[in-house]
């Protein structure tokens, strides 16, 4: 067996999940037996103390790992990806969740799947991420990074909201709707798909703008270059029940006249898949195509 390029592997898992505990213990024991140094974050340390490894911060994991293994579901990987995006470390997911668009090593094939990867038998994909900033009175009050999507949406009310959209400084439209999804190709099979958006191939340098329940039926999703700069303005029509949410995991309340700028993030996400990975097969299985 040739020497693995992954000499140090970081393990990140979902909190309070007995399945993660079993998988982390199994995987940690296997990797240690392969003379691979493992780093674990607090989530794995809490649920798998049998590994007898002191936990470290995700910053240390990002700085010192050659590969990161995420144990959980797509949501766990999204959270880990945002934490690791600046470190240029490839990530692979073990699927203990439901859909598994991003985490594609089956829970029944953990050792076999990881063994092939550390032997160099894998595919690598580069996925773009989004960066957003919220400005209020010319001051940035909130910013973040998203692998799936940035969503501006109503909450706690039944009426529509009004948003003005500009792309690369050019006015596009002012729409009345329940909100707007700005999606990466990775996120095109998430909330954007439910909103009627297109499925984008994961490695495309593109993003989709998908209106949520627009008042005007001709207001359709559009696909633009991921190198474009998007600006969304919350119109001043007494709108106090609007939020921005990213990757469905974090949110911030918006007010009238807030400006949201969205663009491609300066770093990409590297995902590793088993050699036999086929994106179209994933779509057929997860979306139950014929």
Element of type H or E holding 78: helix 74-84
Q: Could you read off the pLDDT of 185-196 as tens digits, one per residue? A: 999 999 999 999
8-128+268-286: CATH architecture: 3-Layer(aba) Sandwich (3.40)
130-264: CATH architecture: Sandwich (2.60)
pLDDT, position 171: 98
In angstroms, the Cα distances linking 269 to 1, 43, 149, 223 are: 28, 22, 14, 21
Q: Where in the chain is the domain with CATH 2.60.200.30?
A: 130-264
Q: Could you read off the pLDDT of 119-172 as tens digits, one per residue? A: 999 999 999 999 999 999 999 999 999 999 999 999 877 889 999 999 999 999
Instruction: Supply the residues annotated as catalytic.
Output: 74
The candidate with the shortest Cα–Cα distance to 103, out of 77, 66, 84, is 77
Q: Where in the chain is the domain with CATH 3.40.50.10330?
A: 8-128+268-286
The candidate with the shortest Cα–Cα distance to 97, out of 114, 78, 124, is 78
Residues of the chain with pLDDT under 70: 1-4, 46-48, 99, 238
Q: In terms of C-beta distances under 8 Å and separation of at least 24 residues, what long-range contacts does 95-100 make, across chains too?
A: 96/14, 96/17, 96/19, 96/20, 96/23, 96/71, 96/72, 97/72, 97/73, 98/73, 99/73, 99/74, 99/286, 100/73, 100/74, 100/286
pLDDT, position 75: 92
């Amino acid at each position: 067996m040739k020497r693995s390029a992954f000499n140090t592997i970081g393990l990140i898992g979902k909190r309070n999940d007995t399945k993660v505990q079993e998988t982390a213990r199994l995987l940690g024991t296997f990797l240690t037996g392969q003379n691979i140094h493992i780093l674990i974050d607090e989530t794995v340390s809490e649920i798998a103390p049998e590994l007898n490894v002191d936990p470290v911060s995700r910053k240390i994991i990002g700085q010192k790992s050659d590969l990161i293994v995420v144990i959980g579901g797509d949501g766990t990987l999204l959270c880990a990806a945002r934490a690791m995006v600046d470190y240029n470390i490839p990530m692979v997911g073990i699927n203990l969740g439901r859909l598994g668009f991003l985490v594609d090593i089956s829970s029944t094939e953990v050792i076999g799947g990881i063994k092939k990867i550390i032997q160099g038998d894998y595919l690598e994909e580069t996925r773009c991420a989004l960066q957003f900033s919220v400005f209020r009175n010319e001051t940035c009050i909130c910013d973040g990074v998203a692998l799936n999507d940035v969503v501006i949406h109503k909450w706690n009310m039944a009426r529509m909201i009004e948003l003005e959209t500009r792309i690369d400084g050019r006015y596009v439209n002012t729409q009345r709707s329940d909100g707007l999804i700005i999606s990466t190709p990775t996120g095109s099979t998430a909330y954007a798909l439910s909103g009627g958006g297109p499925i984008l191939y994961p490695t495309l340098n593109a993003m989709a703008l998908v209106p949520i329940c627009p008042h005007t039926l001709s207001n359709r999703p559009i696909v633009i270059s991921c190198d474009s700069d998007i600006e969304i303005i919350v119109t001043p029509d007494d709108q106090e029940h609007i939020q921005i949410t990213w990757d469905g995991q974090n949110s911030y309340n918006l007010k009238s006249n807030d400006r949201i700028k969205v663009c491609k993030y300066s770093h990409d996400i590297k995902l590793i898949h088993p050699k036999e990975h086929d994106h179209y097969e994933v779509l057929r299985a997860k979306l139950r195509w014929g």
